[in-house]
A and B are shown apart, each in its own frame.
Chain A
Amino acid sequence: MRAVTQYANEPTEESGGRHGVSEIILETKELTRAFGGFVAVNGVNLKVRAGTIHALIGPNGAGKTTCFNLLTKFMPATRGAIRFAGRDITRLAPAEVARLGLVRSFQISAVFPHLSALENVRLALQRARGNSYDFWRSERVLGVFDARARALLEDVGLADFVNVQAALLPYGRKRALEIATTLALDPKMMLLDEPTAGMTHEDVDRIVALIGRIRAGRTILMVEHNLSVVEGLCDTITVLTRGSVVAEGDYATVSRNPDVIAAYLGTADG
């Protein structure tokens, strides 16, 4: 177990909200998804407080990614309800959920490979402005977004890659580009699916620092395998195994839980 403890001295109570009054931005009730007879997500009740970084961890096949797909409506739930920012989003289409400010990333880095970094970010900016159906106008009208797009790229350390095709960026940079694109939407809440998966150490550090910087004014829910990342970054951790929540709380609480040790930490992290 790593000894990184920069957040460990923060006062935290058992899953009940740090100050007791934090607003719940995302809440699920008995969220369930079955594939035939296999129940991938089973009666999950999740409460994410506004302004926090919340981690979803668990061994492979625990249903974390399915959970993400359900929350962002990329997959319909078999049962259960989802509320986001005071609205029931259980029946909405994925694009509508994104428009409400709940924006996801993907496990495999999600960029538009044959477009430049600038164009990638601009696509997010362009959507918010709503002239994206104009097929009769020149794309030069999109130039108004260039300054903002450059600023966002600079923010994630991609200032030197503005005109590089996304496909040619190294893996860690692609993830940074993906985050810049997501940030361009100025989402209320970001869902990051394994933001550091498959990265080198430097890249992990860069992304962790980036997430630490962009959290201001936002809520982040992330699936993460790297426990040192979770420990350093996340306020609340929910542990899933076999589709159900087995523990919830801050890192110290969760890592002491015997069920968690048995199901996850004991085998995965040694």
Chain B
Amino acid sequence: MLGYSRAQGMALGILIALVIVAPGVLYPVFVMKVLCFALFAAAFNLLIGYVGLLSFGHAAFFGIGSYVTAWTAKNWGLTPELAILLGGLGGAVLGLVFGWLAIRRQGLYFAMITLALAQMVYFFCVEAPFTGGEDGIQQVPRGRLFGVFSLQNDMAMYWVAAAIFLAGFLLLHRVVHSPFGQVMKAIRENEPRATSLGYRTDSYKLIAFVISTFMAGIAGGTKSLVFGIATLTDVHFSMSGEVVLMTLLGGLGTIFGPVVGALVVTGMENYLAPFGAWVTVTQGVIFIACVLAFRRGIMGELGALLKIDL
């Protein structure tokens, strides 16, 4: 179903079960945070894992989604689903412009252009009057879903965040396993050959880029409603680095890797927080260990061990 193999279908079942059980075991707000980052990482993975594009500025799209959702929910009183959708569109529009500029270059240059553009977004967010500068946009109301169901309660918010995550996750998977996804993989594998078959590879890359930035915006928007705040952290380049770490740790080009990576990285930040700066050091060590010892990432290695694609 949906292009999942039997093993993947089982893994998906486990994931859904975990999403349902998790808030009973762990602090729901923490799980929501994991889900937001998992969607963000999955969106990022669409580019690096399936098209072979390394975007070093994905925080810009996550952040803009966060700001747009926060601003429209607070100032226009939009319902949460509309505010989040606008957040996603914000990410998509920005992605269209940035992608259009960056896709003209390849490899490292592509990464550097996305990084530079994302830094511009960061400084824009520091200076612009409506982003609240250092304070960010605070006390964002969660509002009422479809104008009816209040999301003030954490569990109510949780089911919405879980639904958004699962929908986004399934949609990204569909993109990978679509006729379009086949061309994406062809571009990743051998771009000149794809061109020689008559594919206008730049348009495929741009569409994939926009899908990814749309999802990043959705993830950022959801996050801002969960925490009731949109801040500079969301657009900071360390956020771009974090999503790279999550995806790499979980497994590039794997289905479930980004989710696992998001869980591990967010979990470390949360539960190692008492150790202060040591979190960063630990992350660095894990990153090095990952690159040296298990390059395929957690799910990549697990999949290789079980001889299935996870």
Chain A contacts for B201, CB-based, 8 A: 95
Contact A138 B3 (CB under 8 A): yes
**CA distance in complex: A105, B195 (Å):** 11
Contact A113 B189 (CB under 8 A): yes
**CA distance in complex: A185, B197 (Å):** 7
Stretch at the interface among B19-27, B179-187, B232-240, B295-303: B179-187
Stretch at the interface among B61-69, B129-137, B170-178: B170-178
Q: With A112-B185, A132-B183 given, is the CB distance from A106 to B195 under 8 Å?
A: no
Chain A contacts for B182, CB-based, 8 A: 115, 119, 122-123, 126, 132, 139, 142
Contact B207 A72 (CB under 8 A): no
The reply to whether the CB of B199 lies closer than 8 angstroms to some CB of chain A is yes
Chain A residue with Cβ nearest B203: A133
Q: DSSP class of B's interface residues: helix, strand, loop or mixed?
A: helix
With beta carbons under 8 angstroms apart, the residue of B2, B183, B197, B204 that contacts A181 is B197
Q: What 1/0 mask marks residues of chain A from 185 to 225 whose CB sits below 8 Å from any chain B CB?
A: 10000000000000000000000000000000000000000
With beta carbons under 8 angstroms apart, the residue of A74, A99, A122, A136 that contacts B198 is A99
The reply to whether the CB of B193 lies closer than 8 angstroms to some CB of chain A is yes
Give the Cβ gap from B151 to chain A, nearest Cβ, in Å.
29
The reply to whether the CB of B192 lies closer than 8 angstroms to some CB of chain A is yes
Q: With A115-B185, A134-B178 given, is the CB distance from A124 to B192 under 8 Å?
A: no
Give the Cβ gap from A7 to chain B, nearest Cβ, in Å.
29
Contact A133 B180 (CB under 8 A): yes
Chain B contacts for A136, CB-based, 8 A: 174-175, 178
Contact A139 B177 (CB under 8 A): yes
Chain B contacts for A181, CB-based, 8 A: 197
**CA distance in complex: A148, B196 (Å):** 20
- Count of A-B contacts judged by CB separation below 8 Å: 108
**CA distance in complex: A172, B213 (Å):** 41
Contact A112 B193 (CB under 8 A): yes
With beta carbons under 8 angstroms apart, the residue of A95, A124, A128, A139 that contacts B200 is A95
Contact A138 B2 (CB under 8 A): yes
Chain B residue with Cβ nearest A113: B189
Q: What 1/0 mask marks residues of chain A from 135 to 156 whose CB sits below 8 Å from any chain B CB?
A: 1111111100000000000000
- State how many residues of chain B have any CB contact under 8 Å with chain A: 29
Chain A residue with Cβ nearest B211: A135
CB neighbors of A among B182-235 (8 A): 182-183, 185-186, 189-190, 192-201, 203-204, 207, 211
Chain A contacts for B197, CB-based, 8 A: 98, 103, 123-124, 127, 181, 185
With beta carbons under 8 angstroms apart, the residue of A103, A113, A134, A137 that contacts B196 is A103
**CA distance in complex: A127, B179 (Å):** 10
Chain B contacts for A139, CB-based, 8 A: 3, 177-179, 181-182
CB neighbors of B among A102-116 (8 A): 103-106, 110-115
Chain B contacts for A252, CB-based, 8 A: none
Chain B residue with Cβ nearest A69: B192
The reply to whether the CB of A60 lies closer than 8 angstroms to some CB of chain B is no
**CA distance in complex: A126, B182 (Å):** 9
Give the Cβ gap from B129 to chain A, nearest Cβ, in Å.
37
The reply to whether the CB of A257 lies closer than 8 angstroms to some CB of chain B is no
Give the Cβ gap from A82 to chain B, nearest Cβ, in Å.
16
Chain B residue with Cβ nearest A94: B195
**CA distance in complex: A136, B183 (Å):** 13
The reply to whether the CB of A131 lies closer than 8 angstroms to some CB of chain B is yes
**CA distance in complex: A74, B191 (Å):** 12
Ordered by A's residue number, 6 sampled pairs between the chains whose C-beta atoms are within 8 Å are A98-B196, A103-B197, A111-B193, A123-B183, A128-B198, A134-B178
Given contacts A110-B192, A123-B194, A133-B179, 5 further A-B contacts (CB under 8 A): A104-B196, A106-B192, A133-B203, A139-B177, A142-B179
